[in-house]
Each structure stands twice: as C-alpha cells, then as structure tokens.
Amino acid sequence: MKSMKVASVAALLLVAGLVAVPAVESQTAGAGTAVTGPSGATTKIAVIDIERIAAESSEGKALFEALRAENDKLQGESQRLQQEIRDMQAKLNSEILSQDARVRLQRDVERKQTDAQRWLEDAQQEFEAKRQDGEQQFQTKLAPIVEAVAKEQGIGLIFRATPGLTFVLDPALDISPLVVKKLDETAASTGDGGAGNPQ
C-alpha cells in the first residue's frame, strides 16, 4: 500500500513536469529510467536539455555563429553611425560658424540621431526575427532526431529540462548527448552545413 502511494505521488510530479525522478521499482537500463506506475505499467522516461544540445551540436554551433556574426555586423554599423554623430557634434562645437550654418548643422545632427535611432530599432527587430526563425528551424530539425533516439532506446516519455522547473537528480536520465550525436551524424550524412544562416 505504501509503495502504491509513493508511486502515485511520483507519477503526479512527473505529469506536472516538476521533477524527473525514478519511482518505486525503477531500474536503469541504458539511457533513461524505467518507471512502474500505479497501474503496473512500465514506461521508460528520460529528459533532454535543449540548451545543451544547441551548445554542443554542430547544428546549434552553426546557428550561434551565424547569429553572432550578424550581431557583430549590427554593432559595427551602430558604432559607425555614432561616430558620425560625434564628429558632427565636435564640428558644431569647435568651428566658428555663422548662425545659419550652425542652425543647419544642428538640424543635421538631430536628423542623424533620429535616423540612427530608427535604424537601430529596425535592426534589433530584424535580428530578433532572424534569431527566432533560426531557433524554430533548429527545433524543427531536432524533433525527429529526439523521436528517433526515443525509439532506439525504448523511451516512452521525455521531459524537457527547464531551469527552475525541472530538477534532474539522476544524470543517467539525460539523453542530450545521444541526441547531439545523432543530430551531428544526420547533418553529416545529409551534407547539411548547419541549422542555418539567419540571413
């Protein structure tokens, strides 16, 4: 009776996605852990860490590098625009200008600042859209890989590790390395150069 209550509580926690811990009569067999529920049915469970897979796989690294290069390009352009504004302000403050010339230059500075601010806002929105698109493409490629690993390992239930919500107490539950390996193998066999170019 006591083991039935423990198994029921563990099953509720698993369904809530709060913790991935083997219940009573659990046993580790390769990747994941087999858990016997209150009904007596046994299901092999595991967890995956999407951030780890992105950081360690060739697909994820390619996406990160493409986004980093895009961000560096935006930073460079932003610095160039800011330098132009500083140069105009220095000219405005240092040179002896007629009143009309000073007014025109002041307007040019204000226009340049407004244009730079609009460009930055547009560039940030575009970058965010590219980042989201790249992540979506990565997860689209990842889904069949996770499914294939689950079938190979006989896993019936996979939790996504979420910092602050999922507490993985048994490292053997984490099948992320298997997913990374299969994702890289699939990318190599198909000649896919990476998760994409956010351009």
pTM: 0.66
* Euclidean distance between CA atoms 75 and 72, whole angstroms: 5
* Banded model confidence at residue 79, pLDDT cuts 50, 70, 90: very high
Residues 6-30 have a mean pLDDT of: 34
Above 80 in pLDDT, residue 54? yes
pLDDT of residue 187: 86
The 3-class secondary structure across 161-184, one letter per residue, is CCCCCCEECCHHHECHHHHHHHHH
Q: Measure Cα distances from 13 to 7, 36, 48, 156 in Å.
A: 10, 14, 17, 17
* Euclidean distance between CA atoms 111 and 52, whole angstroms: 45
pLDDT of residue 14: 34
pLDDT of residue 2: 38
